[in-house]
Homo-oligomer: A and B are copies of this chain.
Amino acid sequence: MGSQNNKPTLVSLARELGVSRQTISNVINAPHLVKAETLERVRAAIERSGYRPSALGRALRTNRSMNLALRVHTSEDDINGNVMDRFLHSLADAARAASYRITIFTAVDSDAEIAELDGLRAVNAVDGCILTDTTERDDRPRRLAELGCPFVAFGRPWGQLPGTHAWVDVDCATGTRDATLTLHRSGHTRIGFLGWGPGLGTGADRRGGWREAVDGLVPDPDDLSLQVEDGVAAGRAAAAELRRRGATAVVCASDSLALGALPEFARTDDPFVPVVGFDDTPVTRALGVSSVAQPVDEAARFCVATLVGLLRGEVDPAEHQQLLTPRLKLRERVA
């Protein structure tokens, strides 16, 4: 603990030299304002002392903390929560490459999230933020804009496309469409869908890709689509119902649902289980279940690059809106 307090600071250095803090600041940042004799004396003292002008001091002058904020929350369903955890790790990597840091915080709801961001900004603890889990009637973009808080969203503005702010999202419909067409090519026509809904958002988007691909394959495609709560147990029950309706394969909106559907649809000798999950989480990888993978790394790099551009005033947010393409990971069953 001792050496923490012995580290030279602007204050201790100013005291030692009998000059003002402003003088020392000028020596570092505006040497032309300082008399030659003082300049030399202070520079020598700075070198001797090992003093390094602090990021806080720089931040005070520039109004930059070099911190970007992200709300984290423990997902109710840890299987699906894995994607956001991977996003967080990728953000930390991308931020580091741009000399920024990620400061994480928790909040009970959107109101608390905005209040926390406002507070963090008011005390200059963060420069901007990354929003996640965008919803149909999401007022966070408007409120952040009103607060003057630069931000980028991982998640499109559902129902308000394209919006005026910067965002990146994954074109999940492409992923479920690819998954459905792949199952069709391997001989299935009665391909079901397990998802959640209704309303706009990721659930409807993922269902949309399946719906497009099955159109014309069977006379009654919508009979093979079930909307349930997310989770393994709900997936299990719904998969049994889809089997009763004659489905021989199923595309799922999440890996939790896919895990639930697995026992019902894994009863063939085919090395490819005709179940496709979403998000390529460890559980599907471990069990040899196919899944649609989101390009989380790419999304994180987009968020950091765009936010840093916004903070520098170099970027028009409305020109930084992008849909990334997911990738189907086909797997043979394990054991």
Give the interface of A toward B (CB within 8 A): 1-7, 9-11, 20-22, 52, 54-61, 63, 65-67, 72-74, 77-79, 81-82, 85-86, 88-89, 92-93, 96, 101-106, 120, 122-125, 147-150, 232, 236, 256, 259, 263, 281-283, 285-287, 310, 313, 334-335
Q: A74-B86, A74-B89 are in contact. Are A55 and B124 (CB under 8 A)?
A: yes
B-chain residues with CB within 8 Å of residue A61 when the two chains form the complex? 11
* Complex contact A282–B236 (CB within 8 A): no
- This chain: copies in complex: 2
* Complex contact A148–B11 (CB within 8 A): no
**What's the nearest-Cβ distance from chain B to residue A236, in Å?**
7
* A67 nearest CB neighbor, chain B only: B103
B-chain residues with CB within 8 Å of residue A7 when the two chains form the complex? 63, 148
* Complex contact B263–A54 (CB within 8 A): no
CA distance A326 to B282 in the complex (A): 24
* A256 nearest CB neighbor, chain B only: B286
CA distance A92 to B73 in the complex (A): 9
Given contact pairs A57-B60, A236-B334, enumerate 20 new A-B contacts (beta carbons under 8 Å).
A1-B150, A2-B148, A4-B148, A5-B63, A9-B60, A11-B61, A55-B124, A56-B59, A56-B123, A56-B125, A78-B82, A78-B86, A79-B283, A81-B282, A101-B105, A102-B104, A102-B105, A103-B103, A259-B287, A283-B283
